[in-house]
Structure 1
Amino acid sequence: MPQVAFTPQLRRFTAAPEVASGAATLRAALEDAFAANPQLRGYVLDDQGHLRTNVVAFIDGRRSVDRVKLADPLRPDSRVYILQALSGG
C-alpha cells in the first residue's frame, strides 16, 4: 500500500501524519492525506488544485512529473514524500 509522508517543514504548521493509501495516482494519495487533515490541502495545493510552486513531490525517489493533474502513477509499494522547498539569504 503506498505511503505518503511529509517533511518536518510542513509539520511545523499543521499535523501531517504519514498516511497509508490504496491510491493508484499521486492525486488520489494526496486526497487520502487531506482527508486525515484538511488543512494540509492549503499548504500543498494552490487554489486551482495544482502543486504549489514551493512544494515538490517525490515518488520512489523520483520527482513527480505532473504538477497540474497529479496523475503520476503509484505502485502498491510506492513511497511518496512531499517537501516544501526552502529559500533564504
Structure 2
Amino acid sequence: MAHVQFTRNLKRFFPDLEPVEIQSDTVSDLVRELDVRHPHLASYIVDDRGALRRHVNIFVNERMIQDRETLSDALSTDAKVFIVQALSGG
C-alpha cells in the first residue's frame, strides 16, 4: 500500500487529515480514494478536468510526478507519496 502524507496547511480545511495507507495503482486512483475518505479533498488537489492544480505538487518516492494532466504515474505497493500545496501571497 502507498503511504500518503500531506502538507500541514491542508489540515486547516481537513482537520482529521493524517498520513494514510492506500492501495492504488496510479496517482489518479489515489486522489479518487482520498476524496472518498475526505470529501472535497480532491478539489484542493486537482481541477475540474482532473489535472493537478498549478500550486500543487505530488511527489512519489521523492520525485515529482511526470503526468500533471491525467495523473497516470504508477504507484508501487510500497510507494511514499507526499502531496504539497504551495503557499503563495505577499
Query: So what's the TM-score if we normalise by structure 1?
Result: 0.90
Q: 2:74 aligned with 1:73, yes or no?
A: yes
Name which of structure 1's ranges 67-76 and 19-28 shifts more when overlaid on structure 2: 19-28
Contact 1:4/1:79 (8 A) holds in 2: yes
Report what 1:5 is aligned to. Answer: 5
Letter of the 1:63 partner, please give it: M
Report what 1:21 is aligned to. Answer: 22
Q: What SS class does the counterpart of residue 32 from structure 1 fall into?
A: helix
Q: Deviations over 1:62-83 (max 9, x none)?
A: 0011011101111110011100
Contact 1:55/1:84 (8 A) holds in 2: yes
The structural deviation recorded for 1:19 is: 2.6
The structural deviation recorded for 1:47 is: 1.2
Cα distance in 1 for residues equivalent to 2:62 and 2:11: 20
What is the number of equivalent residue pairs in this alignment?
Answer: 89
Q: Which ranges of structure 1 fall in alignment gaps of 5 or more residues?
A: none
The structural deviation recorded for 1:87 is: 2.3
The CA RMSD measured in Å over matched residues stands at 1.2
Identity of aligned residues (%): 38
- Runs of 4+ off more than 4 Å: none
Contact 1:4/1:81 (8 A) holds in 2: yes
Letter of the 2:5 partner, please give it: A
Cα distance in 1 for residues equivalent to 2:31 and 2:68: 12
